[in-house]
């Protein structure tokens, strides 16, 4: 009979001062990096709304019962919030519960009525997706025409609009660009997009922007850089009231305000325009000019082609129409 000697237990060593805290902070930083900053910003806003609602009713927000959350989303639907917004609120509530070590209300054993309520909201408030109007080449020219002068702000704003459209960028991607992400080449520009919505791992992808003659993205970007005078750090920077470039990037909300402000000056309805209008403008214009879905996808970086197919279909609604010969 073989006797196996017991393995002596390892005696835990006392942690170095501050080591656990430092390691925890680093782990938290990696956890935050799992989601884009825009997602964190949206979650914080949604969580603030939920906690305020709970406080007004004397309910616990953390942890929150499934019935409390059910009543909350019902109230949000009554306020006219879209199903997409309410689902984001639910995602935020679940996120903060998991961070606190609690089960998300949507995953709790008594979450059946909550899920049914959400399904009912989708059905009652569903319908066609309302998209912001695309700033195609013609509309972008109208927006650009409202930006007068040759000062620092004018040069920056024109470059933001044109680069945002020419590269089909989300506004978060646009303001995240740094000088290191831009390469000037004889054909135009090469942009490296890092950590986008469809690239959470931050591997990055390089896209090309032709030099162009009509909207002239390369020339407008170089005009902004000549005025700003920086060679590192954020590409598009916040400006002081005196139009001096700051060391920090402009915010993604500033991009939306820029588009809407130009729309007002151009005599367009600002409610129909947003930062996404630039991205949609590229896809609309390229589809109208016969670009293939796959060439559009090279720039837009959509994971699937379904959304791009919708742009192409809309552009070709009247092309070779079945009734063209007899209507």
| pLDDT tens-digit map of 90-121 | 999 999 999 999 999 999 999 999 999 999 99
Query: Average per-residue pLDDT in the chain?
Result: 87
What is the C-alpha separation between 208 and 168, in angstroms, rounded?
Answer: 11
Ordered domains of the chain (ranges, CATH)? 29-125 (1.10.150.130), 137-315 (1.10.443.10)
What is the C-alpha separation between 17 and 23, in angstroms, rounded?
Answer: 11
Please give the structure tokens belonging to residue 109: 């054993």
The arithmetic mean of pLDDT across residues 70-90, rounded, is 91
Specify the pLDDT at position 7: 46
What is the C-alpha separation between 305 and 276, in angstroms, rounded?
Answer: 18
Specify the pLDDT at position 151: 96
∠ CA 190-191-196 to the nearest 5 degrees? Answer: 155
pLDDT tens for each residue of 198-247:
555 567 899 999 998 999 999 999 999 999 999 999 999 999 999 999 99
pLDDT tens for each residue of 132-147:
889 999 999 999 999 9
Q: What is the DSSP string of 280-310?
A: HHHHHHHHHTT--HHHHHHHH--SSSHHHHH
């Amino acid at each position: 009979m073989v006797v196996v000697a017991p393995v002596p237990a390892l005696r835990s060593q006392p942690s170095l001062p501050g080591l656990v805290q430092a390691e925890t902070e680093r782990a938290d930083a990696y956890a935050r990096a799992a989601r884009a900053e825009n997602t964190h910003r949206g979650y914080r806003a949604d969580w603030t709304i939920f906690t305020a609602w709970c406080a007004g009713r004397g309910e616990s927000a953390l942890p929150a019962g499934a019935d409390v959350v059910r009543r909350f989303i019902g109230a949000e639907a009554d306020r006219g919030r879209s199903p997409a917004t309410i689902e984001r609120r639910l995602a935020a509530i679940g996120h903060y519960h998991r961070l606190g070590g609690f089960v998300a209300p949507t995953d709790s054993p008594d979450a059946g009525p909550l899920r049914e309520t959400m399904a009912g909201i989708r059905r009652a408030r569903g319908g066609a997706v309302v998209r912001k109007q695309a700033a195609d080449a013609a509309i972008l020219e109208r927006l650009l025409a409202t930006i007068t002068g040759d000062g620092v702000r004018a040069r920056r704003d024109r470059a933001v609009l044109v680069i945002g459209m020419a590269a089909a960028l989300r506004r978060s991607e646009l303001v995240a660009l740094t000088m290191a992400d831009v390469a000037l080449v004889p054909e135009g520009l090469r942009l490296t997009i890092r950590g986008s919505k469809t690239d959470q791992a931050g591997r990055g992808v390089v896209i090309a922007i032709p030099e162009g003659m009509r909207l002239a993205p390369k020339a407008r970007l170089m005009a902004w850089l000549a005025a700003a005078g920086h060679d590192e750090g954020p590409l598009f920077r916040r400006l002081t009231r005196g139009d001096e470039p700051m060391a920090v990037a402009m915010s993604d909300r500033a991009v939306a305000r820029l588009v809407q402000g130009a729309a007002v000056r151009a005599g367009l309805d600002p409610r129909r325009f947003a930062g996404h209008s630039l991205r949609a403008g590229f896809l609309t214009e390229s589809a109208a000019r016969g670009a293939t879905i796959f060439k559009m996808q090279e720039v837009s970086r959509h994971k699937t082609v379904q959304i791009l197919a919708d742009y192409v279909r809309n552009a070709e609604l009247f092309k070779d129409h079945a009734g063209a010969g007899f209507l």
